[in-house]
Amino acid sequence: MKDFQRLLIGWKKFILKDKICVIGLGYVGLPTALILAKKGYSVFGVDIDQQKIKYLKKNHTTIEDASSLLENKLVRKNFQAQNDIPSVDSYIVAVPTPLKSNNHANLQYLTDAIKSICKMLKKNNLIIIESTIPPGTCRNIVVPLVEKYTKLKINKDFFLSHCPERAIPTMVLLSKLKGPNLKLFPSTFRYKISKSAALLYLSETLLEISELSLML
């Protein structure tokens, strides 16, 4: 475990060069984007709500967790809000997946986000799904979509991780900063890339992530 943690720390300088796009600037996505920007990442926050982007460009938001972070000088330097998805190194998808009348998750926002990512996806890019999704969604929906629209292959040309957010609205920032109260288990299709996903979250929080949790 100590060797594993040292390996992650050793990668930090390399990973921090990455540009990150957070798609969905709600009560989970926006604090995530701003915390990463504060940690030194170059972060693009994307949302289809033009009014929300307009407010964010003026450093305003109705999301309580994010208000104080928008005042941070490093955040203002590293964070950019926009409507279009740019070409970056890693994509974090935090769009809503509300329940439909039949109690099944509505994955329309997710599939729309993935299709938009496909237009910009390059080899060796990482996609992390933070949205709450049913078991099998990554394998049965996300991967086929990406492979269809990009001709890239999972674990060869691009990588995917699922790190579902478990937080209460208005307490996201506290959860992320305190770490131990928030259990994040990145499950990936390859152990190698799960270390990259883990390092991103280790830099974002004070959370300890074990090798076992990464291999789920």
Q: What is the pLDDT of residues 114-128, one digit of tens each?
A: 999 999 999 988 888
Residue 149 neighbours by CB distance under 10 Å: 15
Closest by CA position to 116, among listed 214, 48, 192, 57: 48
Question: What is the residue-averaged pLDDT of the chain?
Answer: 77
Domain ranges of the chain: 2-209
pLDDT at 184: 35
Band of pLDDT at residue 212, cut at 50, 70 and 90: very low
DSSP state of 139: I
Q: For strand 125-129 and strand 158-162, is the pairing parallel, antiparallel, or unpaired?
A: parallel
Q: Please give the share of the chain, as a percent, with pLDDT higher than 90.
A: 47
Superfamily of domain 2-209: NAD(P)-binding Rossmann-like Domain (3.40.50.720)
**Once rounded to an integer, what is the mean pLDDT over residues 165-188?**
44
Percent over 70 (pLDDT), the chain: 68
pTM: 0.78
Give the three-state DSSP class for 3: helix
- Residue 91 in this model has a pLDDT that exceeds 80: yes
Hey, is 134 helix, strand or coil?
A: coil
